């Protein structure tokens, strides 16, 4: 547990500031003004306040009590990182903040920073009975004395041979959609949309190659870009062209005020509520609608699709080298969660076009593998022992694609217990079921989530996370609007979308199982007499499964045939690029079941 005095002081300082703000409490989200999953150190307000470092959460502070909310991926982590004497721990979905406010803050004035909350969240909170009060400044920023400076990494062009489509073409298509809807402009508060639309990347975040900034797209295909001018050197300015006007972020309010009388689209899930308030004050007509860049960004063009394939083939070299190394070293002892993750990172870093990890590697041995989004740190780093389960979930950012892969391994040298083998095999069966699924065009992620859970449901088991998320093209490893999840919006899958396929099972205090590949959605081959178009998936990830954890007797003939064919493909596509000793290991790992 973090040292309580530090976080007790931070909480006390925040509470002392509330009367001067005219509020009885305050909401503290994990997000920054771009509402992204990953934030720079200058925006890690929840971590500063509570000690919790997960990528999803919310804190609510009243004068006499406080609560921190997170989802099922982080329930164990939040319990380990926060002081129960200071913070009540709540499930973000099952015990949402609005219910907690209704119970403890009805009639109270609750402040919030309107630059950090989307309209859709504020709408949910208004039913709590609390009086929500937008604040002119963030109260934590005023008391966080050693707050890091905002990042200033340069924005750089994403070349056409990697982007596959020029920024001019992308802007023209998005602007045409605005004109067809009778709209004059759209707010792009999501830095991912700005990066994709303008074909620029950057280094403001550790795991996502973004130059943080926002934009306004106009119906004539011109763009107002709000980004620190120091990030934009002469080459990038020339690349953007004269149809992109660059402004410092401080000018955003003034430019929005100039949209009075115009019809302006805002995505209620991706746009801080401050934008709507500013535009309403200016007399603009607000249209709630989806970010016009989000869906085109999710449907990868042919160049982006081929980039994903080549990135995964390259990433497979690192994964196979790591798996071969691990199989030899793990039974000897001496490895730790951190040393294993560092070795995998070293294999990746040696590859061409590698830029960074796509998220902090989840390297969990034994009971730590049951922590869904566990992150090994010096205080938790644990030896990887012989004859136990080890889970490694990791990924890479290459300039031509983003990867994300999970494998659950048996350290050996002994035989794994029967219950672990059965559960691993059931997770694998669900993983195969989704990989091989044909489904009618129009089906959405929530409709397909159950397919991967069926083998676990058959014996009363489940897992507390979605089955898969969208993945960007040298952008965020977690990308909307599609996901295999009961909680996701029912956005129909389309060709070109890349999603993860990662069912799992977790036994707290014992082990965790997760198996993950990335899938590329594509048009399925037509059957004779087919009534409507169907889609299916191309598997992008290339890495063998842990055969010591597979109970072949539990597999159907079709499942076994698919796994054998997949392993044959891995061997054929990856084996030629490996050192002789590693290639021999891979041949054994990919032998028919």
Contact of 500 with 404, CB cutoff 8 Å = yes
Residue 31, burial from CB neighbour count under 10 angstroms (0-12, 13-18, 19+): buried
Residues near 510 by Cβ (< 8 Å), separated by ≥ 6? Answer: 366, 367, 370
Q: For position 126, what pLDDT does the model report?
A: 84
Q: For position 71, what pLDDT does the model report?
A: 85
Q: Give the chain's mean pLDDT.
A: 96
pLDDT tens column, 214-245: 999 999 999 999 999 999 999 999 999 999 99
Lowest mean pLDDT among 22-31, 91-100, 341-350: 91-100
Tell me: pLDDT of 462 over 70: yes
Tell me whether the omega of the peptide bond preceding residue 29 falls within 30 degrees of 0, making it cis. no
| CA nearest neighbour of 141 among 23, 28, 19, 9 | 28
Query: Any idea what DSSP says for residue 414?
Result: S
Contact of 586 with 574, CB cutoff 8 Å = yes
Residues near 474 by Cβ (< 8 Å), separated by ≥ 6? Answer: 158, 162, 201, 209, 307, 355, 397, 398, 399, 400, 401, 402
Contact of 316 with 574, CB cutoff 8 Å = yes
pLDDT tens column, 397-431: 999 999 999 999 999 999 999 999 999 999 999 99
Q: For position 73, what pLDDT does the model report?
A: 78
Beta bridge partners of 530: none
Query: Mean of the pLDDT values across residues 90-106?
Result: 92
Strands 58-62 and 479-484: unpaired
| CA nearest neighbour of 500 among 517, 514, 487, 488 | 517
Residues near 84 by Cβ (< 8 Å), separated by ≥ 6? Answer: none
Q: For position 64, what pLDDT does the model report?
A: 96
- pTM, rounded to two decimals: 0.94
Percent of the chain clearing pLDDT 70 (strictly above): 99
For 67, the token pair is 């609560």
The Cα 586–Cα 58 span in angstroms is 44
pLDDT tens column, 334-370: 999 999 999 999 999 999 999 999 999 999 999 999 9
The Cα 467–Cα 459 span in angstroms is 18
Tell me: pLDDT of 477 over 80: yes
pLDDT tens column, 304-316: 999 999 999 999 9
Query: Any idea what DSSP says for residue 60?
Result: E
Q: Is 15 left (phi over 0), alpha (psi -120 to 50) or beta?
A: alpha
Q: For position 300, what pLDDT does the model report?
A: 98
Query: Mean of the pLDDT values across residues 102-108?
Result: 96
- Chain centroid, CA 235 distance in Å: 30
- Any idea which residue has 């009590």 for tokens? 65
Contact of 243 with 198, CB cutoff 8 Å = no
Q: For position 3, what pLDDT does the model report?
A: 52
Residues near 451 by Cβ (< 8 Å), separated by ≥ 6? Answer: 430, 433, 434, 437
Please spell the DSSP secondary structure of 137-177, one letter per residue: S-HHHHH-TTPPPPP-PPPEE--HHHHSS-HHHHHHHHHHH
Confidence of residue 127 (pLDDT cuts 50, 70, 90): confident
pLDDT tens column, 255-287: 999 999 999 999 999 999 999 999 999 999 999
| φ, ψ (nearest 5 deg) of residue 25 | -165, 180
Tell me: pLDDT of 1 over 50: no
Show the DSSP H helices in 350-479 as ranges.
Answer: 418-435, 445-457
Confidence of residue 93 (pLDDT cuts 50, 70, 90): confident
């Amino acid at each position: 547990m973090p040292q309580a005095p530090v976080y007790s002081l931070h909480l006390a300082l925040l509470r002392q500031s509330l009367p001067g703000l005219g509020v009885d409490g305050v909401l503290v989200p994990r997000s920054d003004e771009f509402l992204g999953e990953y934030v720079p150190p200058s925006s890690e307000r929840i971590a500063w306040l509570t000690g919790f470092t997960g990528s999803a959460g919310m804190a609510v502070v009243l004068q006499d009590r406080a609560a921190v909310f997170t989802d099922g991926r982080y329930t164990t982590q939040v319990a380990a990182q926060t002081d129960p004497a200071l913070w009540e721990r709540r499930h973000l979905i099952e015990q949402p903040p609005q219910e907690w406010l209704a119970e403890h803050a009805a009639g109270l004035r609750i402040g919030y920073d309107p630059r950090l909350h989307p309209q859709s969240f504020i709408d949910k909170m208004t039913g709590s009975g609390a009086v929500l009060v937008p604040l002119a400044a963030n109260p934590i920023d005023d008391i966080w004395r050693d707050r890091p400076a905002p990042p200033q990494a340069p924005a750089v062009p994403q070349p056409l041979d990697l982007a596959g489509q020029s920024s001019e073409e992308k802007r023209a298509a998005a602007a045409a959609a605005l004109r067809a809807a009778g709209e004059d402009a759209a707010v792009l508060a999501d830095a991912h949309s700005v990066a994709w639309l303008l074909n620029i990347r950057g280094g403001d975040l550790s795991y996502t190659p973004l130059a943080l900034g926002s934009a306004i797209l106009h119906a004539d295909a011109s763009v107002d870009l709000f980004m620190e001018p120091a990030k934009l050197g002469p080459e990038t300015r020339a690349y953007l062209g004269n149809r992109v006007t660059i402004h410092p972020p401080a000018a955003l309010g003034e430019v929005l005020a100039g949209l009075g009388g115009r019809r302006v689209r805002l995505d209620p899930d991706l746009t801080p509520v401050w934008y709507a308030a500013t535009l309403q004050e200016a007399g603009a007509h607000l249209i709630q609608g989806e970010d016009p860049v989000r869906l085109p960004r999710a449907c990868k063009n042919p160049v982006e699709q081929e980039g994903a394939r080549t990135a995964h083939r390259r990433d497979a070299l690192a994964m196979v080298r790591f798996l071969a190394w691990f199989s030899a070293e793990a039974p000897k002892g001496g490895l730790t969660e951190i040393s294993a993750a560092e070795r995998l990172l070293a294999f990746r870093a040696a590859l061409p076009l590698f830029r960074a990890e796509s998220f902090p590697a989840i390297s969990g041995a034994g009971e730590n593998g049951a922590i869904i989004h566990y992150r090994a740190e010096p205080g938790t780093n644990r030896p990887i022992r012989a004859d136990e389960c080890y889970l490694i979930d990791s990924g890479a950012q290459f300039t031509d694609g983003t990867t994300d892969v999970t494998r659950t391994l048996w350290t050996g040298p002994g035989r794994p217990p029967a219950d672990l083998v059965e559960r691993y095999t059931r997770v694998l069966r669900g993983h195969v079921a989704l990989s091989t699924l044909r489904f009618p065009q129009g089906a959405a992620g929530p409709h397909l989530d159950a397919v991967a859970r069926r083998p676990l449901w058959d014996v009363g088991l489940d897992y507390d996370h979605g089955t898969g998320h969208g993945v960007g093209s040298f952008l965020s490893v977690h990308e909307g609007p599609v996901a295999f999840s009961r909680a996701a919006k029912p956005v129909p899958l389309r060709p070109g979308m890349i999603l993860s396929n990662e069912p799992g099972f977790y036994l707290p205090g014992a082990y965790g199982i997760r198996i993950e590949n990335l899938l590329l959605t594509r048009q399925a081959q037509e059957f004779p007499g087919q009534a409507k178009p169907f889609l299916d998936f191309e598997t992008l990830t290339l890495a063998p499964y842990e055969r010591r954890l597979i109970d072949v007797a539990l597999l159907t003939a079709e499942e076994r045939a698919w796994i054998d064919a997949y392993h044959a493909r891995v061997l054929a596509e990856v084996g030629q690029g490996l050192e002789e000793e590693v290639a021999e290991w891979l041949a054994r790992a990919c032998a028919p079941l």
